[in-house]
């Protein structure tokens, strides 16, 4: 090979190799860098959350904490977690409301309303991304921006998301929204930035009644594992085979 | 992070929130797929339908349809060039759309659609049009008066010059093969659009195994009707006599297609009602409260049953040519309105009920802005503008009008 040919090949080869290397780094970058910097091993965990329906008092603190922690827009159209209130009347009629879309004043005013004798019982149900083991949102993402980590959390790469909103359509639980500022899809991350540093998700941290139990389904002595053993457990929309990792204890059949 | 939200978004959401009935999940207020996503299956459907009509000539040798073969091809191409645009405009980050091709996601129907679209455009349609017009382009370049047009025609013919009988025969043979590959590709193209919706198990209005095939049949109906409409309008503009033999034949195909389409859609509804699954109550409310006009009246009664009746009537009685023209014209117009309503009912209808099955949402279409009626009208008129240009550049009747022997 003469000098001219060599230079010609080199001009092609070196940039091409650089591009390939950059692409492969980009493809694996997220997970590699986390492991390298913190010593945190994703493969050792499988996160989930337990919800003790009976314990939720509908104070909405989890929702507020989530909005602050994760920079969720304040407007009542965007939620990573929210609280539903179910009212079941003697005649069997069920009404459902989302108390998180109301203002604090509205919620307070409701407390002083007279007791309606036709109400049989009411209860609150905290909702959030179910962190499905078989997530339909990951399946449909056309660019792989939504992905499942090895420790079982479904995340969105906001630098890659093209904002097509297919994942929002595919989520059976209404857990996703399009952030109007970033124009990308967002959802609950289990506060991934906290849990990988041995902290609890913000909603769990602030819950005054411990209605939310965060844990690691791979750890035998974990609180969540014990919670699952001690309570009758159900998940939302089990017929869709999404295999949610948010597990509800003593959940009423009315809840979808 | 950007500091601004799209203008008018919160006003629109507040307005939609005020129209919610029952309970919905709080994130469901926004209608994520708007009028632009209604356009996308409508435009793509016309592409697939027009191409399948063209293939009747090339592959199945239906000689009666020959007069509109080239028009059908150009129609398919004009609509194809625009079909991806509403999707692109709808994206939160249109500048990242190339990622679909850079990081292929085989599990995503939408990602794979990108490849099917590209394949269909580059691998089938453009080649087919080129093969069909190559000989004409060479001859046009030779006869062009201005040097500029000569260069344009030469470039369009990709600088080929051979118009010997053997070369032309090869064009025809190759074109036939491309069409044979094109038929399953056209099926794939629009079947895939149906699959994008049909595979969403979270949404019972969309999630149906029949969806791809219903989309395909309605695509064939809308494509045939569009070519027929264009043929009638073009003949009027050119002051040419319509080929009634061709029109009658295409009318027959249209009647068959619309009957099959109707049967499939009826099957879908009957199946849903009979199975009466968890979602049936809310879907029933959706149809009777939100979609009554657009589904029962526009899509089914005016857009399907009435044209079906007219097309059947054309065949059962002896009408004179003018009467038949009028009947065909009315039918194809109604069909286009009906199919557009069908796309609307699928896309928008699927987002008007909560996945909690406890409430209904509203969709308020914006008049101006990116995802608005205005954009939709512009996008919808673009294929016709492109078709006008293409038709000017690649006249469909040039060879007949310049019946000079090859040099």
DSSP letter string, B196-222: HHHT-TT-TTT--TTHHHHHHHHHHHH
Task: Find residue A48's DSSP bridge partners.
Answer: A215
Cβ–Cβ below 8 Å for B105 and A171: no
pLDDT in tens, A46-69: 999 999 999 999 999 999 999 999
Q: Measured between CB atoms, does A88 come within 8 Å of chain B?
A: no
Q: What is this model's ipTM?
A: 0.92
Burial (CB count within 10 angstroms: exposed 0-12, middle 13-18, buried 19+), residue B144: middle
Helix, strand, coil shares of chain B as percentages rounded to 5?
75, 0, 25
Under the banding of pLDDT at 50, 70 and 90, the label for residue A23 is low
pLDDT in tens, B383-400: 999 999 999 999 998 888
Cβ–Cβ below 8 Å for B201 and A172: yes
CA separation for the pair B314, A200 (Å, rounded): 72
**The two three-digit tokens of residue B399, written as one number:** 């060879």
Which of B11, B25, B95 is the best residue to mutate to test the A interface, defined by the most A CB atoms within 10 Å of its own CB? B25
Which of A103, A124, A138, A142 is the best residue to mutate to test the B interface, defined by the most B CB atoms within 10 Å of its own CB? A142
B142 to chain A nearest CA, in Å?
Answer: 41
pLDDT of A20 strictly over 70: no
Query: What share of chain B has pLDDT > 90, as a percent?
Result: 86
Which of B36, B195, B356 is the best residue to mutate to test the A interface, defined by the most A CB atoms within 10 Å of its own CB? B356
Q: Does residue A93 or residue B5 have the better pLDDT?
A: A93
User: How confident is the model at residue A21, as a pLDDT?
Assistant: 62
pLDDT in tens, A166-186: 999 999 999 999 999 999 999
pLDDT in tens, B237-277: 989 999 999 999 999 999 999 999 999 999 999 999 999 99
Cβ–Cβ below 8 Å for A144 and B33: no
Cβ–Cβ below 8 Å for B355 and A95: no
CA separation for the pair B4, B391 (Å, rounded): 44
pLDDT of B406 strictly over 50: no
pLDDT in tens, B49-92: 999 999 999 889 999 999 999 999 999 999 999 999 999 999 99
CA separation for the pair B151, B145 (Å, rounded): 11
Q: Does residue B353 or residue A11 have the better pLDDT?
A: B353
pLDDT of A214 strictly over 60: yes
pLDDT of A34 strictly over 70: no
A87 to chain B nearest CA, in Å?
Answer: 12
Instruction: Say whether pTM exceeds 0.80.
Output: yes
Pairing label, strands A246-249, A47-52: parallel
Annotated domain spans of chain A:
43-256
CB atoms within 10 A of CB B344: 21
Answer yes or no: CATH 3.30.70.20 is held by domain A43-256: yes
Residue A146: enclosing H or E segment and its boundaries? strand A146-148
CA separation for the pair B109, B193 (Å, rounded): 8
For chain B, which domains are there?
Answer: 23-396 (1.20.1630.10)
DSSP letter string, B350-361: GGSB-TTSSEE-
Pairing label, strands A246-249, A233-234: antiparallel
Interface contacts A/B by beta carbons within 8 Å: 143
Q: Measured between CB atoms, does A124 come within 8 Å of chain B?
A: no
């Amino acid at each position: 090979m003469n000098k001219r040919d060599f230079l010609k090949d080199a001009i092609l080869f070196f940039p091409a190799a650089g591009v390939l290397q950059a692409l492969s780094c980009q493809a694996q970058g997220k997970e590699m860098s986390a492991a390298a910097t913190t010593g945190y091993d994703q493969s050792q965990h499988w996160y989930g959350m337990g919800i003790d329906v009976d314990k939720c008092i509908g104070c909405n603190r989890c929702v507020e904490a989530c909005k602050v922690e994760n920079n969720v827009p304040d407007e009542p159209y965007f939620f990573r977690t929210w609280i539903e209130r179910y009212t079941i009347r003697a005649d069997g009629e069920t009404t459902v409301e989302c108390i998180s879309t109301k203002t604090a004043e509205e919620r307070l005013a409701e407390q002083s309303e007279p007791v309606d004798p036709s109400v049989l019982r009411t209860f609150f149900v905290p909702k959030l991304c179910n962190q499905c083991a078989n997530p339909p949102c990951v399946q449909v993402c056309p660019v792989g921006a939504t992905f499942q980590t090895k420790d079982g959390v479904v995340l969105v790469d906001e630098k890659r998301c093209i904002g097509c909103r297919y994942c929002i359509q595919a989520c059976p639980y209404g857990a996703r929204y399009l952030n109007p500022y970033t124009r990308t899809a967002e959802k609950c991350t289990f506060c991934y930035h906290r849990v990988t540093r041995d902290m609890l998700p913000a909603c769990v941290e602030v819950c005054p009644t411990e209605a939310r139990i965060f844990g690691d389904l791979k750890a035998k002595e974990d609180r969540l594992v014990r919670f699952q053993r001690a309570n009758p457990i159900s998940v939302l929309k089990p017929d869709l085979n999404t295999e949610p990792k948010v597990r509800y204890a003593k959940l009423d059949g009315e809840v979808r | 992070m950007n500091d601004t939200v799209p203008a008018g978004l919160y006003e629109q959401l507040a307005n939609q929130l005020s129209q919610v009935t029952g309970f919905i999940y709080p994130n469901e207020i926004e209608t994520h797929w708007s009028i632009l996503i209604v356009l996308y299956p409508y435009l793509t459907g016309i592409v697939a339908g027009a191409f399948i009509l063209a293939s009747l000539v090339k592959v199945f040798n239906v000689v009666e349809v020959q007069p509109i073969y080239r028009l059908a091809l150009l129609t398919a191409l004009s609509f194809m060039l625009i079909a991806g645009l509403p999707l692109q405009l709808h994206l939160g980050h249109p500048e990242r759309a190339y990622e679909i091709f850079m990081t292929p996601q085989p599990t995503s129907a939408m990602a794979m659609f990108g490849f099917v679209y590209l394949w269909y455009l580059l691998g089938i349609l453009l080649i087919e049009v080129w093969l069909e017009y190559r000989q004409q382009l060479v001859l046009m370049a030779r006869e062009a008066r201005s040097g500029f047009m000569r260069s344009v025609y030469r470039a369009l013919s990709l600088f080929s010059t051979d118009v010997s009988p053997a070369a032309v025969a090869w064009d025809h043979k190759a074109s036939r093969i491309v069409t044979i590959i094109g038929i399953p590709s056209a099926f794939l193209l629009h079947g895939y659009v149906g699959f994008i919706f049909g595979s969403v198990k979270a949404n019972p209005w969309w999630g149906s195994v029949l969806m791809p095939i219903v989309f395909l049949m309605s695509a064939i109906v809308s494509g045939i009707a569009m070519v027929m409409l264009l043929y009638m309008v073009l003949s009027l503009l050119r002051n040419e006599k319509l080929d009634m033999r061709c029109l009658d034949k295409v009318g027959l195909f249209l009647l068959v297609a619309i009957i099959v389409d109707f049967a499939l859609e009826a099957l879908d509804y009957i199946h849903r009602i009979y199975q009466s699954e968890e979602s049936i109550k809310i879907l029933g409310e959706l149809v009777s409260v939100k979609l009554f006009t657009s589904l029962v009246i526009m899509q089914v009664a005016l857009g399907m049953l009435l044209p079906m009746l007219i097309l059947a009537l054309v065949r059962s009685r002896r009408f004179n040519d003018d009467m038949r023209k009028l009947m065909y014209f009315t039918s194809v117009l109604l069909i286009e309105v009906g199919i557009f309503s069908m796309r609307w009912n699928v896309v928008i209808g699927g987002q008007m009920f909560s996945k909690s099955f406890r409430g209904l949402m509203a969709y308020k279409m914006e008049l101006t802005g990116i995802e608005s009626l205005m954009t939709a009208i512009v996008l919808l008129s673009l294929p016709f503008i492109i078709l006008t240009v293409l038709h000017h550049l690649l006249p469909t009747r040039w060879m007949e009008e310049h019946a000079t022997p090859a040099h």
